[in-house]
Amino acid sequence: MRRILTIAILLAASFAGAAAQSFQDSLISRPAVDSTLVGRDIFDVIASDGVHLNQSQSIRAAFAQYAARGSSRTIQGYRIRVYYDNDHEARGRSEAVARAVKGRFPEYSVYRSYESPNFKVTVGDFRTKDDALRLYNALKSIYPSAFIIKENINFPQ
């Protein structure tokens, strides 16, 4: 009787684990961002498709204000640190590295900072580590000392 009970408990635990993993997988998957809509006003997009939207000007202004407020916020995310040094030529090298990365990967934001006594260059604003890994794999052949860091990033636009 104990064996049957033990087997039943183990089976129930394995099914619960599989269900939890399936639930986590559903949380991780995200729809892709339509790059044709980035930076465009949603109300203009709707109007260009022939849809007429009746709304007061105050609603449109409130939405624009909400979107503008989001641009100054930060959230927890990931960046890739490609340079970190404190020798006497670090300032010049950090500027050169920042220019080189921006020239090679113009679609990503490049941040150069100084935190005494170190000059740092980081790349990107990634919400997940998986997103950061894609760029990291491209950067590690150019900058072998690059690594992913958890940092406050700019709120997605």
Tens-digit pLDDT profile for residues 52-90: 777 788 888 888 787 777 667 788 999 999 999 998 999
At position 20, the amino acid (one-letter code) is A
pTM reported for the whole predicted model: 0.58
Question: Does the pLDDT of residue 3 top 70, yes or no?
Answer: yes
How far is residue 103's CA from residue 93's CA, in Å, rounded to a whole number? 15
Give the contacts of 73 (CB within 8 A, at least 6 positions apart).
155
Question: Does the pLDDT of residue 35 top 70, yes or no?
Answer: no
How far is residue 81's CA from residue 112's CA, in Å, rounded to a whole number? 10
What number does CATH give the domain 74-154?
3.30.70.1070
Q: Are strands 110-115 and 118-126 parallel, antiparallel or unpaired?
A: antiparallel
Q: What is the pLDDT of residues 117-144, one digit of tens each?
A: 999 999 999 999 999 999 999 899 999 9
How far is residue 40's CA from residue 100's CA, in Å, rounded to a whole number? 29
Give the pLDDT confidence score for residue 29 in this predicted structure.
Answer: 44
Region 111-122: what's the mean pLDDT?
92
